[in-house]
A and B are shown apart, each in its own frame.
Chain A
Amino acid sequence: MSERENILGRIREALKVGALVPGLHGHGQPASASPLSSPRQWLPKVGDSFDEQLALFAKNAAELKADFQLFKSADEARQAINSLRDKEKWQRVGGHSGDLTDAICPTLNLPLLRTDRPYDVHELEACDAGISECDALIAQTGTVLVTNRSAGGRALSVLPPHHVVLARRDQLVADLPAAFALLQQRYATNYPSMISFITGPSRTGDIERIMVLGAHGPKKLTIICF
């Protein structure tokens, strides 16, 4: 018999004796037996209107030390990314092809390493910034939701020292349940092999519990939304 069958056999044997559901004192059925109930009712509150949600995202991003920049037009976004380039003296950036990146990146006038086709990771490591799109912005937590399909692979959003996210205003969703619903709706038949919830720039507290940004991932996270 294979180990798989051994383990499953032992599990079935063990489960012949039932265990009590915690917190119900021996009565009733677990509520989660119903897949329809959503955890939204317990999670932190998110405002109903778009403006409230946008304000909440901005507040969370600030707390996380992410740089959230909101613009009215693609032109303003282009100016913003150009000023980042000048300020940080970018020589080379990583990126991928997409509606937003194609509209914004050419203005940088810099060599662009495309990670949505075969590329060399050493070259990406030498890039000053990684510029990607995303699947959604989550107001409740200040999170950027990316997949390797929407954001130029697995490494672009984590290897260069600065991750710049380009997003449209209508990509803002209210909360985590909404983000998972969006993933299901968009990818249920064929999920990307990596889905990542990015909440602020990389950090660590492993030395005397003091927070330091840029442990192994990006030291900076800039979200340009227009």
Chain B
Amino acid sequence: MSFVSQFKAQAQVMTGDLRHRKFIRRALRNYETVRDARKASFQDWPGARQRAAETKWQAVNHLDQHLEQFAAKLESRGTKVHWATTAAQAREIILKIVHDKQAKSVIKSKAMTSEEIHLNDALEHAGLNVVESDLGELIVQLRKETPYHIVFPSMHLTRDEISELFQRELGAAATNDPEELTMIARRALRKKYLTADIGITGANFAIAETGMISITENEGNARLTAALPKTMISLLGIEKVLPRMDDLALFLPLLATMGTGQQLTCYNTLYSGPRQPGETDGPEEWHVVLLDNHRTELLADAEQRDALHCIRCGACLNVCPIFRNVGGHTYGTTYSGPIGSVITPHLRGLQEWKHLSSASSLCGACTETCPVKIDLHHHLLQNRRNAAKQKPSFGEQTAFKLFAFAANRPTLWNFGMTMARIFQPLQGAVKGSMLDPAKAWTKTRDLPPIAPESFKAWWRNRK
């Protein structure tokens, strides 16, 4: 099945699933309240957004300089920096490190880039034991699913479903108390931290000035992943750079506010090297893998370059009426919601993924909420335009040619309208079925009746 028919079929199922829609709405209601309170606590939220947008513009529009500075600083403190153009190269680099270390087990903290390159599959295929340590990621890993949401991977599951999963996969006792369920995961993972050979993390920001990565989290799992295993690997997209360390004074609260409605998340940690002389713990070796994977192609599209400003807060997903109704898995992509619909065609092919840009109400809620001012809903329109320009649709072109032909010939037009008035009542009999020429529209909607009299006729006959 093609990606588009898969999307359509799944979207139809999900929009009809009222339980799911209600559950997601409820889960996001509290987020909306706390997020708004946090935004209000800023002295000047619009100013903060503008500053963040400009800082990311600086970072992305001088990306070459910042990356060189970032890599040089890291290398000067003993970190090994790797560059990967493709997902396959990134997997090879990581597999080679794992083989060199003769590693058997890997503990991972949340990294969407690792989902993007399907790292877990590659590691498991190579015979390694891989465990996700973020609670939400662990839950979807045990279910053999992809994350539902880039910030809340397991937000689609009820506590009962999670309890059942833990009983089946972890041999845990039955409980539907969120606290007890969390403690089951805590106990299960403790041993893994202490015995894992390799720790793999992502990064939220890469600081060019000082050669540091910054990891934002709540659970402490990334802190442990970066403290206990002997070898640490961090995988990040090249667009993660920020010019200066103190830019974080704005970006950390911005990300927390929009991501989860917190003032700051529990742990925001900067790493600038492996264990240094005189330090008593931390990894002996640290590898940083910089991933392109079509990001430079998005960079080359100056019109949509700002999509690389994204800090992956997930705020646009949370406000999107499409996401809230079709759910995260329907997209079939690593990055879902508005930002996913904008960037996936660039990362994975415009023609195969253009349908995501049409699954939009163009309400602009995403653009309005984005903390770094990405012009999301206009980029959806640009994707549609680019896709049509690249590969025009025969059906659409023919339809418009026929319309133009008829509309330019009043006699033909009037004849057509008269016929339509006569035959429209018959449409009711076949509405939505295979016989209905307007099936795609009328399956879920009514065709309004054609006016009994045209405007021209009314004007002529008026008293």
Contacts and interface: CB of A to CB of B under 8 A. Distances in A.
Contacts of B41: 44
Contacts of A82: none
Chain B facing A: main interface SS: helix
B134 A206 contact: yes
Nearest to A146: B269
Contacts of B453: none
Contact of B300 (A14, A31, A152, A215): A14
Contact of B61 (A19, A24, A180): A19
A191 interface: yes
A67 interface: no
Contacts of B158: 208
B311 to A, nearest CB: 14
A15 B305 CA distance: 10
B390 interface: no
A8 to B, nearest CB: 5
A7 B85 contact: yes
A6 B85 contact: yes
Contacts of A181: 246
Nearest to A201: B266
A154 B182 contact: no
Scoring B62, B248, B260 by chain A CB atoms within 10 A of each residue's CB, the highest score goes to B248
A43 to B, nearest CB: 6
Interface stretch (A47-55, A100-108, A111-119, A164-172): A111-119
B282 A212 contact: no
B39 to A, nearest CB: 10
B42 A125 contact: no
B340 to A, nearest CB: 20
Scoring A3, A6, A154, A218 by chain B CB atoms within 10 A of each residue's CB, the highest score goes to A154
B224 A216 contact: yes
Given A22-B54, A203-B218, A60 B266 contact: no
Nearest to A180: B246
Interface stretch (B9-17, B148-156, B397-405, B416-424): B148-156
B44 interface: yes
Interface residues of A, number: 87
Interface in A7-46: 7-8, 10-15, 17-19, 21-24, 30-33, 35, 38-45
Given A176-B252, A193-B77, A148 B223 contact: no
B312 interface: no
A171 B288 CA distance: 34
B224 A217 contact: yes
Contact of B159 (A152, A177, A207): A207
B412 to A, nearest CB: 46
A193 B274 contact: yes
B269 A216 contact: no
Contact of A39 (B51, B85, B159): B51
A83 interface: no
Contacts of B247: 32
Given A11-B296, A17-B302, A154-B281, A41 B43 contact: yes
A194 B270 contact: yes
Contacts of B53: 21-23
A226 interface: no
Contact of A207 (B48, B60, B182, B262): B182
B249 A179 contact: yes
B97 interface: no
A214 to B, nearest CB: 7
A70 interface: no
A215 B246 contact: no
Contacts of A69: none
A121 B194 contact: yes
A63 B454 CA distance: 66
A207 B135 contact: yes
A208 B162 CA distance: 10
Contacts of A79: none
Scoring B53, B54, B244, B274 by chain A CB atoms within 10 A of each residue's CB, the highest score goes to B54
B226 interface: yes
A177 to B, nearest CB: 5
Interface in B9-41: 27, 30-31, 41
Contacts of A158: 220, 223-224, 227, 267
B12 to A, nearest CB: 26
Q: What 5 pairs across the A-B complex have the smallest Cβ distances?
A: A217-B220, A30-B54, A215-B219, A206-B136, A154-B227
Interface of A: 2-4, 6-8, 10-15, 17-19, 21-24, 30-33, 35, 38-45, 60, 115-119, 121-122, 125, 141-143, 148-149, 152-155, 157-159, 175-177, 179-181, 183-184, 191-210, 212, 214-218
